[in-house]
Structure 1
Amino acid sequence: MAKETIQKKVFLEIVQQLRQLIQTEKIQAGEKLPSERVLSERLGVGRSSVREALRSLELLGLIETRHGGGTFLATTHKHQLVEVLSMFILEDERSKKDVAQTRQIHEKEAIRIICSTKEMRTSPVWESFFVKLEIEGTVNCRDILREIMITSGNRLALKIWFQLAAYDGDRLNRQSTEDEKIMIQTLLKSLELGYQQEALKAYGQWMKHLDNQGGVKRGNT
């Protein structure tokens, strides 16, 4: 097993243990969590690993760190949505399919918004990606999807997308292959022209290709 895969597995196990500890000890919103040292001893892992897991939970909005005061479970109204998302993300292997499908729902809606909005369609970023593909033959897959989400202008959807994409990192954060070139170019050109059906079709073909490459199998999206 690759080192990066092992580290990711260990990290997710620590986060899962932290969530179980919060549930077992019935730590309520606003209450203080044990210190890094105590968590390290109780979970049987290094403090640096605990610190990394806590930072991730803080980014998700599940906990909050107060300078000089320690770490606290975030108030319910702040983290209720991301708590639901994180439960799906961390629960089991089957949930990876749910994460990918949820991420794609946001991406498809962003494509629809862009195709129906002239200012978004005419953004120079689409042509720059297209030219990069022509000259260099490859682009970063995650960069394109991120720009689609940013350009669509929905800040909440973008925040949710970043969290979902983080758990699909190995498949998304890589350079495109020759097999994907036509699919991506068709998507980019369709975005520029506002051809919604063509853009969604090219996007669907690209995602199906990514799923096959990454071993995630599902029905038509």
Structure 2
Amino acid sequence: MPVETKSWPARDPDARLDYVYTIPLDEGDSVASYSAEELTGGGTLESDSIEGASVKLWLKGGEDGQTNVYRIAWTTDAGREDEAVITQLVVSNETAALEGYDKPGAGHFLQRYPAFASVPSATIEYWLADASRFVDDSWSQPDYAPGIMAYAAWQMARAGIGGSGSSLPAGVTRFRSGAMDVAISDSVASASLKGGVAASLYEEEFCQLRRRNLGGPRLVGCG
């Protein structure tokens, strides 16, 4: 059985907050022992406790843009053993303003599109870098960063990334500790399937920006 993965909402590095994970138990079973640890990040796990099947973690600190990864493992009175991996993005509420043709980062992206708060920062940075292939300095300065972010949001939604509550989105083939070495499969990177209403909304936003900056017959793909 694969390890359960989930995400907690993004947190400001200056915030000290508690988050609860409820251990799934079969009827009549109970928790015999548990452990909670931080796998990657900046030492943000201050303390942990359990009440019944609810494990509470107190988190504080971290650096803007980093993704912290936690693991909660348990054993039940009936002898069942399992674990869950939980991620949380640290995003400062004081993200530096973009000027000129500055490229947006994960913090800027999440301020514009908070629906992607469950997505690891490295995944967002990947799609922002990919989007910069389609938006360059021929665009007007006011539309440059919004264009990159809108295209990234469109492609992520098409690929099924974000909004599902999954900490490791479909297509993430590697998730290492330390400096966040995330790899995304070719099948997801080149996905052409529609991602539903959300994808169409991001597509519409990008195409409006592109029409304003390019126009004419170069608008292939923006109906």
| TM-score for the superposition, normalised by structure 2 | 0.29
| TM-score for the superposition, normalised by structure 1 | 0.29
Which protein has the bigger helix share? 1
Which protein has the bigger strand share? 2
